[in-house]
Amino acid sequence: MGLEAARARLFDCLRHEIRDKRVLSAMARVPRERFVSPDHYYAAYEDMPLSIGFGQTISQPFIVALMTQALGLKGGEKVLELGTGSGYQTAILAELAKWIVSIERIPQLAESAMRVLKELGYKNFAIHTSSEALGWPAGAPYDGIIVTAGAPSVPDVLLEQLVLGGRLVIPVGSRWEQDLLKVTKRKRKHLVKSLGGCRFVPLIGLGAWEES
């Protein structure tokens, strides 16, 4: 199957699962093939994660769409992304929000993502190489935070970087399997909703997993 046919099939499937038309339109504008390795070029529109090297992956398109939809973006938000990876999720967020701060702990991936995003014309983002501390407090508060790696629990340090009413979307569970959570920040008890099971690489840092 050619790339265009695979792309059409993928979006036919996503339209049955994803309600937010802004998310679907943004994903349709982002060429996923630009964010995968040449070895995986013809699998760019299969609904599956793909290796991008360094033990990392570009997430399954359905999961990307589901997580992005959960943020409820309208266009004027500042969003923090933990785990730039290939930059694919960053591009979709840049289509939907005003400003994106993206954090990546692997310098080679940060550099590659920066190059592709700039080549595609995106300007409303910044990529930083992470330290052990989670997030990017210097840019806080954020209207939304999206975490593309699994944590053992919801990190308080990320909730502290959210505005009241802001949304944190994060996989929580073991190193191998997680539950995708949408956490809406409240003054007293935060609102937590499960979006289903998922599998992400571990989130490394203080308040998450130690590097093995």
> CB-hemisphere CA count at 13 Å for 211?
6
Look at the block and give the residue holding tokens 């033990």. 55
Indicate left, alpha or beta for 68 from its phi (over 0: left) and psi (-120 to 50: alpha): alpha
Catalytic residue among 37, 51, 59, 194: 59
* Dihedral sign (CA 125, 33, 44, 16): positive
Cα separation, 64 vs 173, in Å, equals: 18
Among this protein's residues, is 174 annotated catalytic? no
Cα separation, 102 vs 110, in Å, equals: 9
Q: Please check whether residue 151 is in contact with residue 209, taking contact to mean a CB–CB distance below 8 angstroms.
A: yes
Q: Which of 150, 156, 198 is nearest to 174 (CA)?
A: 150
3-state secondary structure of 169: strand
Pairing, β 78-82 against β 99-104: parallel
Q: Which residues are catalytic?
A: 59
